[in-house]
Structure 1
Amino acid sequence: MSDLPPSLATAPVAPAAPGLPDLFVYDLPASTSNTAENLPDASKIELFNGENFKCWQEKVFHVLDVHNLVDYLQSSPPEEGTEDYDKKLQTWNAGNKVCMHTILNSLASSLCDIYYPYKNAYEIWALLKKKYMHKKKQVSFKDAIIHVRIEEKNRIRDVFDKAKKFRSNANLIKNTPQLNKKQSNPINRHPNNPKRLIAKKKRNCFVCGKISHYANQCRHKAQRKGDNKNLLKPIWLKEKEMTSLLL
């Protein structure tokens, strides 16, 4: 018994079961209750075997958070020489043991054997997080085939929906009445619009003076050209006669 730590050597001895050695019960520091009812219950946490790490991590974190022990997942032991070092170290050791107990009891046997040698809860927590936080999910060949088929069905459904929508738009355009330029003009759509009632100005034929046709269609155009020639002839004769008289 002399090799045991003082805290355990002075602890009361629990009644021994038949055929088993005596059990020692020691008190936890004042910061941690010594009743099993106030200790974190890890029995409801599914054993972590390397899968669904995020879910397991949240459950363990929640259990420890209820008992205000989350800080021990990230804090290291107090440095020697600090104020109240012995008291702080005793408190940290108690919280660290409870966290280690909770973590190890929620690990599968294969993982528990790996992380059991570590003595600090924050080390175990950091190693598990580093290894499994970003672990890629291994997909079996069967799951991969199912995934590909689902993606193919979704792609075909998207193509079908787009084709159906395009066909509906085409039918809508086909059934819409097409308007000519006059009908599509917003001025012509309103019968009371004053701009629509303005009549085009009619021009007179500058050959005969009538308004029923244009000059290029006038039948008096050829006759008018002949009259111009006859008018020039007498003028030329008069000039010739006057020239002979002067000579």
Structure 2
Amino acid sequence: MMRLPSRLAVFLLVMAGPLLLVVFPIATFLVMSFWRVESQQIVPDATLANYAAFFGNWTYLKTFLLTLLLCAEVTAIGIAVGYPIAYFIWRRRGRTRYVLLLLFIVPLFMSYIVKIYTMRSILGLNGFLNQVLVGAGILKQPSLLFLYNQTAILITMAVIFLPFVILPVFLSLERIPPQLMLASADLGAGMGTTFRRIIVPLSAPGTIAGALFAFVLALGDFITPQMVGGPSGFTFGRVIWSQFGLAYNWPFGAAMGTVLLIVALLMIVTGGILAGKQRL
């Protein structure tokens, strides 16, 4: 057996990566949120002025609340679209289900910028969506309704984060024992009853995981609002990005980033509790 000093050394080596690459940067980030900027210089003083400035400014709070609403909408669309897709794939037989699953999660391996430019080409004035709507007679001429606004951000985020919803839902459905559905059918339950009483509850952990993926990823996204939102697509992520950019107020940006981190952690913990209850 491995002796205690050797086991301790292996443990420290394993933990060195997460500590240096995750814990230390986050700790530095949290500490910086209590500093201030004076004459374009970061002063390492202990102050709550950054948090007071954030919570005391309605513009920042309003942007934060609207971003939470946007994330909730992205999550709702992701579940409403992603769950039926995952269910459809799961109901296929043999290799077909895995081929279909691969097709839907291929975007996960693509560059984020490529996906955004693809969405811009679809939503643009001469894009695929406008051409379809004009061809169907719904619109008389191409419209910029789908680009450079909040609607464009919502559609783009919902599409880009959809694979993050489909995959955990499918994996959760895949773990449901077939015997349960056979037993349900033997007891006289129809497909609707089986779906409502067995499939939905047992797939809830995957659904919650998919919802968390969509919400948290949308919460910290600043590239999508920048690329497809235009001047009107101002989200909390863009506000934080601006503090680390032109504003050069890193402590204030760190404070807002800390608020974002706390919200994300609360969502993850809440989701974990809900998923744990579903497994009982």
Taking structure 1 as the reference length, the TM-score comes to 0.20
Relative to the length of structure 2, the TM-score reads: 0.18
Q: Which has the higher contact order (CA 8 A, sep 6+)?
A: 2
Decide which structure has the larger Cα Rg and report it. 1
